[in-house]
Structures are given as structure tokens and as C-alpha cells.
Structure 1
Amino acid sequence: MTKVTAQMSVSLDGYYAGPLYSGDGNWMESAEAAGFFRITRWVIDAMAWRERLGFAGGERSTNSDIIAETFEAAGAYVMGRRMADGGELPWGEEPPFHAPVFVVTHRTRETLVRQGGTSFTYVTDGIASAVEQARAAAKGKNVAVAGGGSLVRQVLKAGLLDELELHIVPVVLGAGMRLLDAGLELADKEAMEFTPTRVVHTPEATHVRYTVNGRAALVLDDRGSGAGVPGADGP
């Protein structure tokens, strides 16, 4: 069955990049980039990632296996326009996806066809439409929400995400772009519940996979009231 999945690398304090780049100067020299590259450092030497980008070398490791598994499971992708525009030149003529990519945007553009089975279709009628188009193109495999973080948060907020995998990197950034923040627009006394289904530890990152259970009311329990506690009503 097709699932809508997402995976993000985050710091211990929940950031996936440094503070948002203002657009002045060189992005590579920005605080946003510095945080992003630290959080995704665990990916760089993984053989599965390097192979996808056409680079030689790399380590066959647990981290590499997780990356390979993620690519293999995806039959189509949903992506934000900022990520698509930023990756267009670095990814070159054969981007690493090897599957249809549906880009959520407000600006129209003709479908961009690349080598290796990757195409970029620009969807202007909302996230739900992009997800549905990706489902149809995935041929029974998963739809992977590739990011960035703002798009993952919007898909989660809309109740469209089935599974979230966080790659938790042992570093504290202190400030930056947070994945799970007030943008989820949870009501007072409301939470979003998850069930962890897999935890894989490596020195570079702890990979935690969650099933998304959705929104739920926060209900006060009876702690401290003595109800149901042996001896709470006296001897």
C-alpha cells in the first residue's frame, strides 16, 4: 500500500538548518547553510548517497543502508519550490531521485524532464493535489515528501503524512529553522501523536521512524488525586 512518508535530519534541539537566509550575499556562507551542512554531515560519506549523485567512493555502513532503503521505497516525490530551484543546478542532468517529482509552487512552469527517470512537474493547486498526483505516479510504492522542512510541516499539518523518520544528530544549534513548531497550528489542549516503530543508532545520528497518528485532545489524568492508588485513602 502506498504511504506518504517524510524524513528529515534534525539537531537535538529540533533544527534542520541554521537561521533562515535573508538572500543577501552567498547562501553557502550563510548561517542557514552552516547549520544545514552540519545536520546532514552523516549523509556525505554514505556509499548509497554518493552513488545516487554519481560520485565515487563512500562507505557501506548502516547510514548508507538507511539512505538506500529510503530511495528504494519511493516511487514518487513531493517537493517545495525553494528546494527544487536550489537543487536544479547542483543535481545536474541526472538528479538522484530517478522518479517523478511534484513541486508545490505558486508559479507555473513546464514539466522539466531529466535523465535517469526524474521529472519535475510544477503543481499550482495545492499540497493535496501534489500528493494525489504523486500517489498516482508512484505505482504502489511510497510517496516521499522530500522537503524542505516547511513543506514537510505543511503536509503534516494537513493530515496527509503517514510516516515520519527523523535522523537526530547529536549537536545543539541553539537557533535556526525548526521542523516541528507553531506552524502546525495545534489548538489549545491539542497534540499530535506519533508511535515509534523503529530506532537505529549510529555514532553520527539516531534514526527514529514514527507512524503518524494525528491530532488528539490533551486530557488531564488523575495523578495526585489518589484515585486507584493502593493506600491513598488511608490505612
Structure 2
Amino acid sequence: MSLVRIHNFSVSLDGFGTGEGQSLESPFGHAGQRLHPWMFATRFGREMLGQEGGGRGADDAFAAQFMPGIGAEIMGANKFGPPGWQDDADWKGWWGPNPPFHTPTYVLTHRPRPSIEMEGGTTFHFLDATPEEALAVAREGAGGLDVRIGGGVSVVRDFLAAGLVDHAHFAVAPIVLGRGERLWDGLEGLESSYDVESVTTASGTTHVTFTRS
């Protein structure tokens, strides 16, 4: 059976995966882009932005695992858009006409809408479903490849809590946010089900991987 994976999910030293006050102008709230400099300094991150250059070291090696073997993504409503996007019939996500997913992408929302086909192979589908139900649909859409859990924080936490994640990569950024949405709440003892490894890179980022034992 295909694996369920999390990649490049950045958290602060105090465990916050996003800041407080998400809006159209501030997708990560008061955190701004402080969680992600490590990734956008890599070759992979620059390519995602349509730019050249970028580092080819350990940060890049972790970042580049985002795409290989992925056949579908599941994300939450707050990753797809700012508060209130469900009231905007023209909203198609943050990423422009060619989003970076290039697979069927399943958006969890209590207000589903018709699917949206984008350039580059991404089609957004909207589901009101439990993690288990959404995973069953995504696995069918993935065509035997793996399913990536893309965020936001509550979706990642829910899939971890349900025991559905086989491999997870968290990038711990060397910042303290103090407020926002915490990833680890309710996940006491999570490490007991996984082999855990960590690598700290020159950027100050600690890459922590959880691989099911």
C-alpha cells in the first residue's frame, strides 16, 4: 500500500507551525516568512519560485524529497486560502494558475465546492471528510503512489493523531514565535511509534524525521 508522507513542514523552536493572524496579506500570520528561509535558499526552493541558483547542501537534500513518488496531496482549508475564501467563488488558491503540486490535491473543508482543474496537472478537489475518509479518496487518486499531507497545522496534527502517517519531515527553524498554532499539542508519546533522527545544518535548521518503526 502507498505511504503517507509529510515533507518540509517548518515549525518554530516553541512548536508553532504558523503564526497568529492569518490573512490574505499574511498567509502565515505574524510569523511572516521566518519559518521558511532555509527552504527558499536551496536549489529546490528557488526552482519552486521559478528562480535560478540556491544551495545544494543538506537543506536542499531534505527539501527535494517533497516531490518524488507523490501521487496526491491532502491539505486543510487554511492552507488553501485565507479566512473567508469559501465566500469567494473565484478563489483558486495562493499559487497562481500553475500550483506546485502537479497531482490531484484534496482540500478538507466543511463547505465543499466543484473541483478546479489548474495548469501543470494539479486539480483541487474539495472534501468534507475525516482523515481516514480523505486518505481513502486520495489513495485512489494517487494511482498507487504515495500521499503527501501538506498542512496546515491542524491537518498534520490530525493525521498524526490518527496514526495514519508513515514518514514525516519537520524543519525546526531557529526562531521563537510565542503564539500561533502549535503542532505538538495532543501528540504526547508520538515518538514511541517511530524511528526518530535529526540533522542540524549550517542554516541553523534542525531537520527531524519520523519513520514508522
Specify which of 178, 185, 199 is matched with residue 174 of structure 1: 178
Identity %: 35
Residue type of the alignment partner of 1:64 = D
Please show how residues 78-157 of structure 1 align to structure 2 within 5 Å. 78-86=74-82, 88-157=92-161
How many residues of Structure 1 are paired with residues of Structure 2 in the alignment?
Answer: 202
Distance 1:88 1:55, change over 3 A: farther
Q: Which residue of 2 aligns with 1:73?
A: 69
Q: Which residue of 1 aligns with 2:40?
A: 44
More displaced, 136-145 or 50-59?
Answer: 50-59
What TM-score does the superposition give when structure 2 sets the normalisation length? 0.83
Residue type of the alignment partner of 1:98 = H
CA distance in 2, matches of 1:67, 1:73: 14
User: Secondary structure in 1 aligned to 2:81?
Assistant: helix
Asked if the contact 2:104–2:122 (Cα under 8 Å) also holds between the matched residues in 1, the reply is yes
Q: Deviations over 1:49-100 (max 9, x none)?
A: 2223323333333222222222113211000012112494531111011111
Q: Which residue of 1 aligns with 2:201?
A: 202
Q: RMSD over aligned Cα, in angstroms?
A: 2.4
Q: Deviations over 1:145-192 (max 9, x none)?
A: 00001111111122222222111122222332210113x5x7xxxx33
What TM-score does the superposition give when structure 1 sets the normalisation length? 0.76
CA distance in 1, matches of 2:79, 2:117: 17
Asked if the contact 1:103–1:130 (Cα under 8 Å) also holds between the matched residues in 2, the reply is no
Q: Which residue of 1 aligns with 2:164?
A: 160
Asked if the contact 1:95–1:118 (Cα under 8 Å) also holds between the matched residues in 2, the reply is yes
Q: Which residue of 1 aligns with 2:56?
A: 60
Distance 1:27 1:108, change over 3 A: same
User: Secondary structure in 1 aligned to 2:170?
Assistant: strand
CA distance in 2, matches of 1:133, 1:89: 21
Asked if the contact 1:53–1:91 (Cα under 8 Å) also holds between the matched residues in 2, the reply is no
- Superposed displacement of residue 22, structure 1: 6.8
Q: Which residue of 2 aligns with 1:221?
A: none
Q: Which residue of 2 aligns with 1:219?
A: none
Asked if the contact 1:149–1:179 (Cα under 8 Å) also holds between the matched residues in 2, the reply is yes
Residue type of the alignment partner of 1:95 = P
Asked if the contact 1:45–1:58 (Cα under 8 Å) also holds between the matched residues in 2, the reply is yes
Which of the pair has more CA radius of gyration? 1
Unaligned runs of 5+ residues in structure 2 are: 83-90
Distance 1:22 1:70, change over 3 A: closer
